[in-house]
Structure formats: structure tokens, C-alpha cells
Amino acid sequence: MSDLPKRVSLREVGPRDGLQNEDPIPTAAKIDLIDALSETGLRRIEAVSFVHPRAIPQMADADEVWSKVRRNDAVRYSALVPNRRGLERALAAGFTDLEVVISASDTHNRENINRSTAESLDALPELTELAHGSGATLQLIVSTAWGCPYEGEVPEERVLWVAGRGVAAGVDSLVYGDTTGMATPTRVVRLVGETRSAHPELPLGLHFHNTRGTGLANLYAALQLGVDDFDAAVAGLGGCPYAPGASGNIATEEVVSMVEDMGVETGVDLDALLDVAEMAERFVGHAAPSQVLRAGPRSRTVPPSS
């Protein structure tokens, strides 16, 4: 087995990505969820997205949620923005860690934000300049990096083109999103390798969905390459309203359970996180897909029947 990172940095995306495909839950519940996650040892949480409420009604209360969150000084909170207006709202709310999503698939990008990929990329330098001018960082998340629900295969050259345009625009970091769970370990290895060859100094993170059951396998493949930055969602919630069939993100508690047993530190209290996963499941009102939430940590035992 290749040497693995000693520690990984997890960004919890449950409050945003995890909820955007659910029926809207009360504002107070969102606040409670973020506050509870902030006490688990997680050090990065994607709290809200500043999108138009007609596009994602689940995020219509972003300003109110953020104004009432009990901030933990040890946690970096980030916000997703789709365009200049969203970025301005995020800056006004006090965020300094911002993310913009651009799809490698032209069809998905049009479905998501009503623009072609090229149009979104053309606007990126202005967004980067505005963020940096306000003392914030801007991360480019390239969605449908391993496939599109409308177009099918997305060529690696197309993904690398989007990443290159992001670098030229001055983004601070890059994340590849497996929006519909079409990645497999060999595909992850190829794309990560090509990206590192082209942009060796660019911080790279990965965002896997478990739609086809390959999420943790993909994460393990990335770990073997030394990748140490991943997104995950509590209870395995998530999905994309503009990606038919897309199911949840890899579950944060499943990632913690697996990598900690492999000797990779996360800094996260698994028992505390499982309590929050139960909370999230109650809030959305249905069973969540997390297997560790069902089975419990490896240390859990039950008395024999006799």
C-alpha cells in the first residue's frame, strides 16, 4: 500500500449540498445543524449558498441562517456563489472563503445557472478580482468532472481546459466534483495525475458522490496519490437538483470511520458526528444512506443472545 497522508482535511458540505436536494427544512433546524457540526472537531463547513431562491428554494434563507449561526473560531465557514450578485451577498454577509461552481459539461452548466461553460469562465476573472479585493479567497469547483447526466462522458481534456481557465483567472484552489457518481478509481487516478502535471502548485480537493457506490473507493484511490482534501456530507445527504438520479455525497462519518482506522487523522469525534447524523436524519424526515449511521462505529458491540 502506498504511503497515505498522515492527516486529511474534511469540508463538511451537509448544510449546503446535503440539503439542496431535500424538501426545505426550517431555518432554525439549519442553524442547529451547523452549530452541532461545529462542535465535532470539523474545521471546515460549507454553511450556505447565495443563489436565487427561485433556483434553489432550499437556500432562500441563507442570510438569516448565517446571521444566527453560533460561530466557532476554530472553524472556517465557506459559502457557495453562482455569480457576481451571489459573491457580493456573501462578502456583505462577512464570508472570506468563497466557492464558485462551473460545470465541465455545457449542458449541465446551462441547466444549473443558465449559462454556457465558456460564459461562466469568462466571468471568472472579475469574480476573483472582487473576492481578492475584499480579502477573500475564491475556489473553483469543477462539477461533472467525471461525467454528466445529460451528455454522458466528459473528456478529461474538457475538464483540464476548465481548470486551466480557472488558474488563469487567479483562483486560489480547485475542487473536482463527481456530481453524479460516475467516477471510478482508475478515472480518479488519471484526472488527478493530469491535473498535477499541468498545475503542480495548485491546491486540489475532491468532492465525491456515492450514486453508484464507488465514493469511498474513489477516496481511497485519491489518498494513495497523496490527496488530503475532501468534501463529505453528514449522514450521506445530498444530490443535485440539476442532475437527475444523483444521490448523496459520501458520508462524513463513513470517511472518518474508514480513514481513522487506516491511521489517517481527521480530528473529528466520530461519536459526536454520529449524533449529528441522527439529527440530520430527523430534520429531513427520512432514512439517510449512511451505513456507519446504521451500524455504528467499529468499536460498537452488542451482547450475545445467550
Q: Is 137 helix (H, G, I), strand (E, B) or coil?
A: strand
Question: Cell digits for 112?
Answer: 444549473
- Give the count of beta carbons closer than 10 Å to the beta carbon of residue 26: 10
Closest CA to 290 of 305, 306, 270, 264: 270
> Is residue 240 annotated as a catalytic residue, yes or no?
yes
Angstrom CA distances, 239 to 174, 245, 273, 297, stand at: 20, 8, 20, 25
CB 12 within 8 A of CB 233: yes
Residues found in the chain: 306
**Please, where are the H alpha helices in 136-183?**
156-169
Residue type, 272: A
For residue 231, the cross-strand partners are 11, 207
Q: 183, 240, 251, 274: which is the annotated catalytic residue?
A: 240
CB atoms inside a 10 Å sphere around CB 184: 15
Say if CB 12 and CB 44 are below 8 A apart: yes
176 closest CA partner among 99, 270, 115, 68: 99
Nearest to 283 by CA among 3, 28, 4: 28
Q: Which residues are catalytic?
A: 240
